[in-house]
């Protein structure tokens, strides 16, 4: 029994040191705000209350595909995305009545590897707060999950905001982004609304790899229309797909060409140039999937209806409607267009053989607290 007490004390001391070092590095490197409510002394006596947060998924226009560090979830390349309003995930957290963490997604109990990954993420906040309670977490999304619509991004972004509120940890958006990244890479972009860039970073500890906003949601009247071609979960999750894609002979070229695509996309967004942005988004999308296609073994996320939707976009453009597609790791097609063209594009996609549903999206806002701590 005495050995167990000593072990618990050592774990507590380690977490105290880890918390201080982690936050001091953040404060020094990105000018963040250290926690004020979640101090190590006395925080363990505060009663935790239920809290809820909401975040939107995002569509990557310049893709995140490949990792330079699996453990810290650091990307091999930078990326740029647009947060999607109209689609969202709400995460509710409260103390668990059982002696273990519990997680439900759209009413389904999640177990196995996904629950283990979530537990490791929760441990980051336990280390920052000095709390040990097990938690009950419920995520509800108003769109298909694990189907190439960035549900992990919206889930972990909402989870990050909710956990920070639950434990009373005051962090800057950049710090929240860096934490969200460790749950799901693209979640770091869903902390922000509008057009967002995730920096690859260079430091091995990942302290310079986080997302920041390029343009706010109202700054550019643009619409994203999502063509759902398959409601089923994708056969290969993104994390595994990235690893597999590293076997492609084209992978080094993919990484090397990303800097130019990022620069082109930044300039297009700054100028409000849909044609320029759409062109680089399509090109970058096709390069990413070319890497997946040529992996060993080949990795194909598309369905016949995916290609049919791409052809619909090309026909619209040939008819004078500026519309541009992009496809993340899944079979769904996202189409950028001017707001005044949305009805035309929506109708054309809905009439495309194999398209099961069409969802209209606008630029979404930041991840935010819905209920609980304000």
- In tens, the pLDDT along 216-227 reads 876 788 999 999
Distance CA 324, CA 134 (A): 45
51: helix, strand or coil? strand
Which token pair is 294?
């040529």
Residue of 166, 221, 189, 164 whose CA lies nearest to 366: 189
215 secondary structure, DSSP code = E
235: CB partners within 8 A, 6+ apart: none
Residue 373 pLDDT: 45
SS (H, E, C) 285-353: HHHHHHHHHCCCCCCCCCCHHHHHHHHHHHHHHHCCCCEEEECCCCCCEEEEEEHHHHHHHHHHHHCCC
> CB of 128 within 8 A of CB of 178?
no
Neighbours of 212 (CB within 10 A): 16
Which token pair is 367?
């991840």
Q: Is the model more confident about 266 or about 97?
A: 266
279: CB partners within 8 A, 6+ apart: 324
CA quadruple 339, 341, 344, 349: dihedral sign: negative
pLDDT at 8 over 50: no
Name the pLDDT band for 338 (thresholds 50, 70, 90).
very high
Residue 303 pLDDT: 96
Name the pLDDT band for 371 (thresholds 50, 70, 90).
low
Domains defined along the chain, listed by start: 2-371 (3.30.230.10)
150: helix, strand or coil? coil
Q: Rounded to 10 degrees, what is the CA torsion of 170, 68, 54, 334?
A: 150
Residue of 140, 121, 126, 124 whose CA lies nearest to 95: 126
Per-residue pLDDT tens over the stretch 304-332: 999 999 999 999 999 999 999 999 999 99
Residue 147 pLDDT: 66
Q: Is the model more confident about 366 or about 12?
A: 366
- Phi-psi category of 23—alpha, beta or left, where left has phi over 0 and alpha has psi -120 to 50? alpha
Percent of the chain scoring above 70 in pLDDT: 86
Backbone angles phi, psi at 229, to 5 degrees: -110, -10
pLDDT (mean) for 334-356: 97
Residue 98 pLDDT: 85
Q: Are strands 51-55 and 89-95 parallel, antiparallel or unpaired?
A: antiparallel
Distance CA 51, CA 74 (A): 29
255: helix, strand or coil? helix
pLDDT (mean) for 81-109: 92
pLDDT at 31 over 90: no
Confidence (pTM): 0.86
> CB of 367 within 8 A of CB of 190?
yes
Residue 44 pLDDT: 53
Which token pair is 89?
């995930």
Residue 15 pLDDT: 39
Per-residue pLDDT tens over the stretch 273-311: 999 999 999 999 999 999 999 999 999 999 999 999 999
Percent of the chain scoring above 90 in pLDDT: 73
Which token pair is 42?
């006395």
Mean pLDDT of the chain: 87
Q: Is the model more confident about 232 or about 160?
A: 160
């Amino acid at each position: 029994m005495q050995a167990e007490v000593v072990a618990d004390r050592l774990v507590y001391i380690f977490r105290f040191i880890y918390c201080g070092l982690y936050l001091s590095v953040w404060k020094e490197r990105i000018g963040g705000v250290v926690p004020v409510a979640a101090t190590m002394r006395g925080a363990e006596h505060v009663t935790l209350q239920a809290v809820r947060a909401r975040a939107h998924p995002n569509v990557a226009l310049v893709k995140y595909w490949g990792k330079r560090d699996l453990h810290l979830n650091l990307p091999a390349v930078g990326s740029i995305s647009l947060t999607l309003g109209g689609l969202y995930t709400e995460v509710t957290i409260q103390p668990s009545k059982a002696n273990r963490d519990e997680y439900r997604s759209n009413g389904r109990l999640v177990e196995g590897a996904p629950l283990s990954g979530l537990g490791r993420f929760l441990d980051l906040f336990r280390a920052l707060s000095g709390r040990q309670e097990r938690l009950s977490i419920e995520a509800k999304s108003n769109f298909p999950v694990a189907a190439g619509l960035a549900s992990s991004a919206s889930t972990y972004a909402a989870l990050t905001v909710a956990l920070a509120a639950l434990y009373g940890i005051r962090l800057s958006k950049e710090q929240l982004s860096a934490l969200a990244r460790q749950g799901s890479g693209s979640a770091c972009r869903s902390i922000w609304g509008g057009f967002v860039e995730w920096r690859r970073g260079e430091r091995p500890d990942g302290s310079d790899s986080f997302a920041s906003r390029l343009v706010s949601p109202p700054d550019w009247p643009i619409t994203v229309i999502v063509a759902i071609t398959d409601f089923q979960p994708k056969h290969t999750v993104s994390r595994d797909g990235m690893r597999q894609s590293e076997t492609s002979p084209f992978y080094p070229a993919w990484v090397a060409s990303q800097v130019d695509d990022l620069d082109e996309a930044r300039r297009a967004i700054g100028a409000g140039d849909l044609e320029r942005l759409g062109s680089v988004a399509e090109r970058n999308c096709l390069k990413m999937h070319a890497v997946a296609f040529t992996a060993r073994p080949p990795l194909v996320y598309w369905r016949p209806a995916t290609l049919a939707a791409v052809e619909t976009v090309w026909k619209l453009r040939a008819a004078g409607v500026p519309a541009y597609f992009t496809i993340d790791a899944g079979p769904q097609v996202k189409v950028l267009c001017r707001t005044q063209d949305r009805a035309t594009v929506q109708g054309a996609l809905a009439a495309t053989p194999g398209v099961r549903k069409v969802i209209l999206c606008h630029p979404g806002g930041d991840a935010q607290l819905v209920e609980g701590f304000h």
